[in-house]
Structure 1
Amino acid sequence: MNAVYTPKEEWKKGYHSVLVAELGLLLNREGLTPMLYADQANSDSNRVYRNIGFTSCGTIAEIAFSGGE
């Protein structure tokens, strides 16, 4: 899961938590392992993810190459 977005006027209503938790459960029931990519700088969303059962498993690095043509 990536780029989960909740409009600011809908924050703190639980929509985000329910959506991510339910999708994670659905993936588990289908025998898949849910993976969630989260912004480490966003402590609020990371707390929500921990509360619904996600654990930190590593860091993704973004690497860009410029053309040499």
Structure 2
Amino acid sequence: MDPERQVDIARYLKFVIAFLIIMFSVLGLYEFYYGAEARRTQELQQEFNRLNMPGASAATTTAP
């Protein structure tokens, strides 16, 4: 294999590796932010449902 072809392959592999690192970083940040937001939304929904249960009185609910 000639040296010029080796340089082309190395350049291509560096590009692919850099692209994959950037993609996984972006996906990780996206999941970190929106995953936390989704969990918080779910917690708020559960708290809302708990406070609005039929038959629940002030004596059965706990203050945060």
**One fold, TM greater than 0.5?**
no
TM-score (normalised: structure 2): 0.32
Question: Which structure has greater helix proportion?
Answer: 2
Structure with the bigger RCO (C-alpha within 8 Å, sep 6+) is 1
Larger CA Rg, structure 1 vs 2:
2
TM-score (normalised: structure 1): 0.30
